[in-house]
Amino acid sequence: MPDKKHAEHLFELAKDAMSKAYVPYSKFHVGAAILTSNGKFYSGCNVENAAYPEGTCAEAGAIASMVLNGDTDIKDIYVIGHGDALVTPCGGCRQKIREFSSADTMIHICGSEGVRKSLTMNELLPFSFGPENLEQ
Ligand SMILES: O=c1ccn([C@H]2C[C@H](O)[C@@H](CO)O2)c(=O)[nH]1
Ligand SMILES: [Zn+2]
């Protein structure tokens, strides 16, 4: 877990991002917030599209913001969806998070009261394919 101050900020950022989701089709709001290993915060929401497959996930938005700002090392990522069911990152997002993860990256799945489940990258995506697989 990140320290208390970082944890609170991540949760607030993820909730705030969730409130901004553009979801006229699914009405399913999702927010994500990232803390990088160098102490920066990024967030994102899902953005749907009338051409349904073009919609993007909250995690993808947060990752795009992180990369735009020159950061590539996720320490913690919080994900929150509206409603009671826990939102675990979809398969595509697991792979997107994996690209920017390291041994100590943690994925925290939140409910309305805070973190409900914390997972390592390997728990979320075992036997994963990553950048090092391309190193010869
Ligand atoms: O981890 C997830 C799972 C789903 N969604 C979005 C995609 C779509 O807009 C809506 C319903 O699938 O939730 C995310 O943003 N992140
Ligand atoms: Zn996704």
pLDDT for position 136: 76
Residues 6+ away with beta carbon under 8 Å from 32: 14, 17, 43, 44, 45, 57, 58, 59, 61, 62, 77, 78, 79, 80
CB 1 near ligand 1, within 6 Å: no
Of 30, 34, 47, 109, the residue with max ligand 1 atoms within 8 A of its CB, to mutate for a pocket test, comes to: 30
Give all domains of the chain, ordered by start, each with its CATH number: 4-122 (3.40.140.10)
* Confidence at residue 85, expressed as pLDDT on a 0 to 100 scale: 85
Joined tokens for residue 114: 């805070």
38 is in an annotated binding site: no
Number of helices (H), then strands (E), belonging to the chain: the values are: 4, 5
Residue 125 is encoded by which pair of tokens? 């995506």
User: How many angstroms separate the alpha carbon of residue 6 from the centre of ligand 2?
Assistant: 24
pLDDT at 80: 98
76 lines ligand 1 (CB under 6 A): no
Query: Between the CA atoms of 101, 118, 62 and 52, what dihedral angle is there, to the nearest 10 degrees?
Result: 110
Helix (H, G, I), strand (E, B) or coil at 33: strand
Distance CA 66, CA 36 (A): 8
Tens of pLDDT, residue by residue over 8-65, are 999 999 999 999 999 999 999 999 999 999 999 999 999 999 999 999 999 999 999 9
Q: Which amino acid is at 12?
A: E
Among the listed residues 103, 90, 104, 106, the one whose alpha carbon sits nearest the alpha carbon of residue 57: 90
Strand partners, 115: 110
ipTM over 0.90: yes
pLDDT of 1 reads: 87
Q: Report residue 84's pLDDT band, with 50, 70 and 90 as the boundaries.
A: confident
Measured from the CA of 21, which atom of ligand 1 is nearest? Answer: 9
Pair 94, 105: CB distance under 8 Å: no
